[in-house]
Amino acid sequence: MRLYRFLSGPDDSSFCHKVTNALNKGWHLYGSPTYAFDAETKTMRCGQSVVKDVDGVEYDPLIKLGDF
């Protein structure tokens, strides 16, 4: 099964740590990062898609992707 997640967060080191943590758990970057202004909070936000192949597990919409 191939899993997909979209990680997002503020434009600071916490976002970099979130992506680094996913990479160290076997996730792979998918596509280019995004960067956008959040007009409500008046801050910049970052986003990055990641994917991971997991053998021997059937997809279930109730799975918690962060557990992988």
pLDDT, mean of residues 31-43 = 96
Distance CA 39, CA 45 (A): 10
Check residue 66 and give its pLDDT.
83
Predicted TM-score (pTM) of this structure: 0.87
pLDDT(23) > 90: yes
pLDDT(7) > 90: yes
Check residue 10 and give its pLDDT.
95
Check residue 6 and give its pLDDT.
98
Residue 48 carries which DSSP code? E
**Hey, what are 54's tokens?**
């997991």
Taking the alpha carbons at both ends of the chain, their separation in whole angstroms is 12
**How does residue 67 score in pLDDT terms, banded at 50, 70 and 90?**
confident
**Hey, what are 21's tokens?**
């943590």
